């Protein structure tokens, strides 16, 4: 793996190193995501130094979520991260609030755009003590709002970047145990994943964007990734699987015979989908990382894309039916 070696570590030096080396991973998804992890750890180190308050006042866990949490980032990725700290004290609240704000600004400088939904450690909603997180998760699970369920899904994709590994698993166990006692929680998740962008037409054709910047393209995020990711995540919550990558979740689920037929061809198709995302390395901004131009693809690749899309829709619909039946 490439390692960032520099005498004086700054946001400027991290950004320069990132821009010089990221293209190295245009054929290596695992390497690319490990590269992003390394960059973010270096940003955290600089952020702690810039606070000029010494070492953090207590144990903590800094996590990423979204595509970063699932180890599925492309070449340009926005911010999705949060903070858990062990001591529920005023000193810790103030320290980690300041650290979260510095982190968000540092990541933005290095090349990770601010999250439009404010899923960042700079947002007090995503920067809490361990006890505060337990109370927050319980409040979200008891809430009837669409937003609360969305936040639970986001949290379930959390993966530790730096700090104490056990905190995340312990908090995810709170979600798993709650849904065992309250099976209706799983059905409430369905309200957030019901509607997907199906772009296979009635005659089996791929329906591309007809106008605008992305004319002739398909939106891989909403038409392809979302059906797989959402369906597999809800099964992971149901079965208490704490892995975050969609492929790792599929692997564990397929070891249970009740999901063998349901997830047939799921792993192969999702691996292909990740490769298509990796092909989008010549992009200018975050939105560009989601759009695949169909017109120039070879016949075989168009066939692959169609199969990926159809399998995603099938799995999405069958998981909804499964949860609705209470199986």
Model confidence pLDDT, tens digit, residues 32-78: 999 999 999 999 999 999 999 989 999 999 999 999 999 999 888 89
**Residue percentage of the chain with pLDDT more than 90:** 76
Model confidence pLDDT, tens digit, residues 226-236: 999 999 999 99
**Local confidence band at 197 (pLDDT 50, 70, 90 cut-offs):** confident
How high does pLDDT run on average in the chain?
92
Least confident range from 94-108, 186-200, 251-265: namely: 186-200
Could you tell me which residue, 202 or 111, shows the higher pLDDT?
A: 111
Token pair for 30: 């695992």
Gap between the Cα atoms of 255 and 189, Å rounded: 24
Q: What global pTM score does this model have?
A: 0.93
Domain boundaries, the chain: 11-171, 189-324
Beta pairing class for 291-293 and 217-219: antiparallel
Q: How far apart are the first and last CA of the chain?
A: 44
- Predicted pLDDT at 240: 95
Contact 69, 115 (CB under 8 A): no
Looking at the DSSP assignment, which residues form a beta bridge with residue 206? 200
Q: Which of the four CATH numbers 3.30.70.260, 3.30.460.10, 3.40.50.300, 3.40.50.2300 does domain 11-171 have?
A: 3.30.460.10
Sign of the alpha-carbon dihedral angle for 318, 321, 326, 327 = negative
- Report phi then psi at 200, rounded to 5: -100, 120
Question: Is the pLDDT confidence value at 256 over 90?
Answer: yes
Least confident range from 52-61, 218-227, 274-283: namely: 274-283
Over residues 107-129, mean pLDDT:
97
Contact 138, 174 (CB under 8 A): yes
Question: Is the pLDDT confidence value at 2 over 60?
Answer: no
Q: Say how far residue 149 (Cα) sits from the centre of its chain.
A: 15
**Local confidence band at 199 (pLDDT 50, 70, 90 cut-offs):** confident
- Predicted pLDDT at 194: 82
Least confident range from 71-75, 81-85, 278-282: namely: 278-282
**HSE-CB of 208 using CA atoms within 13 angstroms:** 17
Question: Is the pLDDT confidence value at 1 over 70?
Answer: no
């Amino acid at each position: 793996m490439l390692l960032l070696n520099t005498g004086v570590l700054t946001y400027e030096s991290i950004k320069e190193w990132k821009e010089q080396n990221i293209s190295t991973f245009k054929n290596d998804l695992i390497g690319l995501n490990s590269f992003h992890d390394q960059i973010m750890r270096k940003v955290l180190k600089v952020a702690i130094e810039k606070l000029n308050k010494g070492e953090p006042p207590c144990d903590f866990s800094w996590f990423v979520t979204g595509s970063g949490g699932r180890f599925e980032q492309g070449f340009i990725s926005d911010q999705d991260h949060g903070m858990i700290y062990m001591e529920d004290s005023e000193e810790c609240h103030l320290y980690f609030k300041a650290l979260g704000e510095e982190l968000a600004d540092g990541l933005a400088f290095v090349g990770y755009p601010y999250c439009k939904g404010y899923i960042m450690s700079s947002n007090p909603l995503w920067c809490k003590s361990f006890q505060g997180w337990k109370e927050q998760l319980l409040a979200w699970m008891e809430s009837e709002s669409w937003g609360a369920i969305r936040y639970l899904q986001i949290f379930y994709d959390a993966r530790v970047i730096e700090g104490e590994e056990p905190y995340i698993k312990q908090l995810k166990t709170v979600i798993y145990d709650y849904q065992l006692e309250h099976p209706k929680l799983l059905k409430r998740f369905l309200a957030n994943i019901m509607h997907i962008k199906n772009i296979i037409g009635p005659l089996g054709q791929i329906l591309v964007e007809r106008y605008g910047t992305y004319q002739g393209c398909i939106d891989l995020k909403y038409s392809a990734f979302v059906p797989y990711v959402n369906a597999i995540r809800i099964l992971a919550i149901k079965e208490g699987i704490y892995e975050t990558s969609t492929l790792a979740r599929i692997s564990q689920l397929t070891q249970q015979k009740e999901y063998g037929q349901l997830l047939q061809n799921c792993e192969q198709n999702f691996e292909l989908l990740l490769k298509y995302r990796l092909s989008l390395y010549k992009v200018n901004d975050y939105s560009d990382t989601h759009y695949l131009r169909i017109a120039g693809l070879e016949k075989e690749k168009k066939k692959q894309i169609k199969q990926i899309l159809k399998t995603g829709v099938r799995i999405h619909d069958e998981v909804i039916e499964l949860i609705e039946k209470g199986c």
